[in-house]
Amino acid sequence: MSGRVGDLSPKQAEALEQFRARIQDILPQLPAQHDHFLLRWLRARNFNVQKSEAMLRKLGRNVESITMIYDVEGLGLKHLWKPAIETYGEILQMFEDNYPEGLKRLFVIKAPKLFPVAYNLIKHFLSENTRQKIYILGANWQEVLLKYIDAEELPAYYGGKLTDPDGDPRCRTRINHVGPVPPSYYVRDHVKVDYEQCMIVSRGSSQQLDYEILFPGCVLRWQFASEGADIGFGVFLKAKKGEWKKAAQMEEVVPSQRYNTHLVPEDGSLTCERPGVYVLRFDNTYSIFQAKRISFTVEVLLPDRLQSPQSNGKPSGNVPEEENSSQTQ
């Protein structure tokens, strides 16, 4: 049985009755009293009435808005996989559509240089109202957090005083892990990628695609797949756009190698530290019999200045003067 209203086993129905009886003293203060609401807590603890009651008494207050902290330390190019970014954007939209005004503020801390690029990929999923609640903090992030969150409610790892009973400054025992994700929920093998372009690389030849990068810090991102067999791929740098050069005459930026993209699509990116013309070269010179059809998408992601969307050009870390928040919810 699913454990939802209308689909309860006799044992689950009995647990629901016991649960309701045990929480009569706090039931009027809860945001809802119906079975749909109470069953959420029972399902979260596998219908263990005692554990469900403990969880509800600890966390069952009505939360009208949430203050969030995003620690993005370690964010790298590997996290910019396009299907994942799009899925994350869809999740953000779902929360906006179904939980309006649920976010009070969101603080982004430890943002690397790549963060503005990542933020550009998802910000179009957000409403302007939500964007105004996002603050990208600078080196003084601990000081700013303490202006909005009481030290007693902020983990010591982030500059507060809160620790686990064992002294863990990250408060990891407060995180309720649900266990391994079943392989049946994996989606990577089922993600369908829609490529923007395609071309034929003739046998014994290569094809080059030029992308002019005007500003340092831009990210060049690519996805491609081949039909029938593998294909060679590398990224090179040259001075002028439009002039054709052999691979040996250009600076090799991403070493050329063969990819089995007829089996697994390739997804990669490069932070362009220097302006210039970056050449994506598809190499089929080693194949004397077979031409290759390549489907691909290439994007140039422009960097923004690292600042809060609400700071109006002020340095990152500026946040509006507001009352101190008593706790992070």
Q: Is 56 helix (H, G, I), strand (E, B) or coil?
A: helix
Closest C-alpha among 80, 68, 137 to residue 114: 80
Percent of the chain whose predicted confidence (pLDDT) is above 90: 40
List of the chain residues with pLDDT < 50: 305-329
Closest C-alpha among 199, 217, 198 to residue 305: 217
Residue 267 has φ and ψ, to the nearest 5°, of -135, 125
pLDDT, residue 19, reads: 93
- CA 39/CA 20 separation, integer angstroms: 10
Give a three-class secondary structure readout of 92-127. Answer: HHHHHHHCCCCEEEEEEECCCCCHHHHHHHHHHHCC
pLDDT, residue 321, reads: 41
107 burial (CB, 10 Å; 0-12 / 13-18 / 19+) is buried
Paired with 219 in beta bridges are 271, 301
Give the global pTM.
Answer: 0.52
pLDDT, residue 102, reads: 74
- Return the H-helix or E-strand segment holding 252: strand 251-259
